[in-house]
Chains A and B, each alone.
Chain A
Amino acid sequence: MSEIIHEPLALNSSEVLELEGESVLLCNSGGSHFAIRNQCTHQNSPLAGGRVRNGFISCPLHGVRFDLSTGEPRGTLTRVPVKTYGVRDEDGMIVISN
């Protein structure tokens, strides 16, 4: 298991990190942090830059929405969930683990 430690993000923002060679997107939705793989399961484009709101991220390319806590997609463009990572708060820092 590998971990990254990162400072908390601004509300409803995201940032690309790397964890063991995988591009990971850390998101702050409504004050809660989530980490997902930075690749849409619809057409494989990066999710970075997608809008984060209300526990979801919208893919910037075609707008597929993923539930940040489960990775499950909404709509019919893809049925494949996006990978999620463990996130915990330690002494005010965000720890992401695979």
Chain B
Amino acid sequence: MSEKLSPGEARAPGHSYQEAIKKDASEPPASFLTESYEFLGDADIPYANYTSKDYADAEFEKMWPKVWQMACREEHIAETGDYQVYDIGELSVIVTRTESMQIKAYYNACMHRGTALKSPGDNGFCESFRCPFHGWVYSLEGELIDLPEDWDFPHVKGDSHNLREVLVDTWGGFVFVNFDPNAEALSEYLGVLPEHFKDFNIDDRYIETHVCKRLPVNWKAAEEAFMEAYHVKETHAGGAEFSEPVTTYDVFPENVNRFIHTVGSLNPRMPKAPSQQELMQMLWGRRGPADGTCPVVPEGMTARDVYARVVQQQLGASYDQDFSGYSTAQTLDSIEYFLFPNLFIFPGLTLPMVYRFRPDKDDPDYSYFDLYFLRPKHPEKQPPPPPEPLMLDIEDSYTQSEGLGFLGAVYDQDTDNMAAQTRGFKTSAKSGQALGNYQEVRARHLQQRVGDYLKK
């Protein structure tokens, strides 16, 4: 315990993430060297924030209709007439590509008697939106273009019954919607994200894998499970000594936070540091090809730098691309940015994930987790179309998805904690959860941002 420090000032023993990557042979992006931690308090987070139906209802009323949220990727609606339905709570929006290749978003409800025009979560193609009830037809631009038996509707005039638009904008290949017509611009809402992502060309990526799983836990607790690397040692390494990653936790105004942790660098807590060659052997055993010979780390180089080059070559061969321009940190590290309220983007090369979490509309104890792998597009080749999502229920294993590779089992480990956490929320003798000041600051940031909207 570091009793002389103010709350939030204590750090793990040894070097920081920033100090670690400054030793890399290649220069990391400047944004990786930024530290932006802020002590946000140490009060318990009430379990009611996760379990209360009233709290969930308040989120649906005051928060979800006011925030920018990712509806899909641009490649989901690549051609005129492509559409994607995005559902959040009782709200549903159709995002589509118009004749002029604009992206537009409409409330998913016929202006006649309210029938949803498209099924929940649906995607596909249509030349116009035709209501299956009475056949009212809307153009891709949202105009009512066919009103059957129009003699009976003298009160439907001009554009009075065109589809109602929802705010839509794009960044990084993601399509965002906001149900609040007076919302701040997406570019403002994104804060530091565009600047921090300028070295990653996140818009030039395609969806390789998409899994959507129902989770047995509140959406915020599900997100919080992925917001810290504190759990890695116990959940993913069986409590193995010195398996704590060296991690930076940062909070940026108002809607962004992140962690980045090293892969393949020395854990400063080890009493006797292994040699770089021994470290290389460990890395090679973990993820290198079983039939290959472990490379020799040249004098003056680190295992981490050598391993990064190997990974670049392996992935370069797999995807027929040149990844040698990525720095060691960009190549290896777990780089996880969060955009409030529900989007996580990993722009790194080895870990290429995007997460989106959504609450179950009826039960605060359940949520939905869209997990995507995004890979860099080939500069000349056409990427494959977005895959149909693999739908997994609570008891289904992520290992059913071949595309997740070894990470399928890792996500199962995370999911196992979730049902247990929901049960514990309800039996605990204590009314809320304690959070680490540094390592779990992102969870507190999320809670405070939700609270900000609920107070409005």
Contacts and interface: CB of A to CB of B under 8 A. Distances in A.
Interface of A: 42-43, 51, 53-54, 56, 58, 60-63, 65, 74-77
Contacts of A53: 125, 385
A61 B130 contact: yes
A35 B219 CA distance: 42
Contacts of A58: 124-126
Interface of B: 81, 83, 118-120, 122-127, 130, 132, 385
Contacts of A54: 385
B132 A74 contact: no
Contacts of B120: 75-76
B130 A65 contact: no
B396 to A, nearest CB: 19
Given A51-B81, A54-B385, A63-B118, A74 B124 contact: yes
A75 B132 contact: no
B124 A42 contact: no
Contacts of B385: 53-54
A6 B125 CA distance: 27
A77 B124 CA distance: 13
Given A43-B132, A61-B130, A74 B125 contact: no
A32 B251 CA distance: 49
The 10 A-B residue pairs with the shortest CB-CB distance, nearest first, are: A75-B119, A63-B126, A76-B119, A58-B125, A51-B125, A75-B122, A65-B124, A58-B124, A54-B385, A62-B132
Contacts of B123: 65
Contacts of B132: 42-43, 62, 77
Contacts of A76: 119-120
B384 to A, nearest CB: 9
A79 to B, nearest CB: 11
Contacts of B122: 63, 65, 74-75
A61 B130 CA distance: 7
A61 to B, nearest CB: 6
